[in-house]
Amino acid sequence: MKRRAFIDRSSLSLSSLLISPKIFSTPMKNKTSKNTFQKSPYVLSTWNVPSATQEAGIALEQGANALDAAVLGVAVEEANILNTTVGIGGAPDRDGVVSLDACVMNHEGNGGAVVAVENIIHVAALAKDVMEHTPHVILASKGAQKFALDQGYTKENLLSESSKKAWLKWLEKGNYTPEINIENHDTIGMLCSDGDGNLSGACTTSGLAYKMHGRVGDSPILGSGLFIDNEVGGAVATGVGEEVLKTVGSFLVVELMRQAKTPQEACEIAIGRILSKQVGKPNFQVAYIATNKKGEIGAFSIQKGFSYTQHKNKKTNNVPSNSAF
Describe the crossing of helices 66-78 and 50-61 by its angle, rounded to 10 degrees. Answer: 150
Q: Where are the alpha helices (DSSP H) in 79-216?
A: 123-133, 141-150, 161-171
**Choosing from 46, 84, 85, 187, which is the catalytic residue?**
187
Catalytic residue check, 309: no
Q: Which helix (H) or strand (E) holds 67?
A: helix 66-78
Could you tell me where the beta strands, DSSP code E, fall in 187-273?
A: 188-193, 199-205, 226-229, 233-239
In the β-sheet with 199-205, what is the strand arrangement from edge to edge?
A: 138-140, 111-117, 100-105, 199-205, 188-193, 42-46, 307-312, 315-320
Pairing of strands 199-205, 315-320: unpaired
Burial of 106 (0-12, 13-18, 19+ CB in 10 A): buried
With beta carbons less than 8 A apart as the criterion, state whether 30 and 194 touch.
yes
How many Cβ atoms are within 10 Å of 206's Cβ, its own excluded? 29
Q: How far apart are CA 26 and CA 29, in angstroms?
A: 9
Termini Cα distance of the chain:
51
Write the single-letter amino acid at 191: L
Identity of the residue numbered 263: P
Catalytically annotated residues: 187
